[in-house]
Amino acid sequence: MVILLVDDDVGVQLFVWKLLKAYGFTVLNADSGEAALEASRRYIGSIDLLLTDVRLPRMDGLELCKTVAAERPQIRVLLMSGESRNEERVLAHGLRFIEKPFTLRALRNSLEMLLGRIPSPIDDDFVREIA
The CATH number of 2-130 is 3.40.50.2300
91-124 pLDDT tens trace:
777 889 999 888 888 898 999 999 998 866 666 5
For the chain, the structural domain boundaries read 2-130
The number of helix segments (H) and strand segments (E) in the chain equals 6, 5
Q: What is the pTM of this model?
A: 0.89
Q: Is the peptide bond before 57 cis (omega within 30 degrees of 0)?
A: no
Q: Is the pLDDT reported for residue 39 higher than 60?
A: yes
